[in-house]
Amino acid sequence: NIRDYGSQGQQRSAILSLKFAEMQIIKDKTNKQPVLLLDDALSELDLLRKRKLLNKIETKQTFITCTEKRRYMTLDDKISFFYVSKGSVKSI
């Protein structure tokens, strides 16, 4: 049971694996690639798992929310950052 015996990073990895499986099922059924929405997805992953996640989502339209930009800055130069506040979106 991953909830009882897995670390937070392992739990997060398991959930992300389920999300990717769900995306594949949707794509197979609709022939359309869904948009992936993740909330602070990298927060409990080690560096290797972070890089694997970013490689996995590289060809998918993905929005990741975060409160700490620095977590993501050194991982990939293909990441764009936006600040969202009170209905306004700004590129940063």
Residues near 62 by Cβ (< 8 Å), separated by ≥ 6?
35, 36, 37, 38
Note down the domain range covering 30.
2-91
Q: Residue 60 belongs to a domain with what CATH number?
A: 3.40.50.300
- Name the stretches of the chain with pLDDT < 50: none
- Please tell me the pTM assigned to this model: 0.73
Give the whole-angstrom CA distance, residue 30 versus residue 33: 8
Give the whole-angstrom CA distance, residue 53 versus residue 47: 10
The pLDDT value given to residue 50: 84
Q: How many domains does the chain have?
A: 1
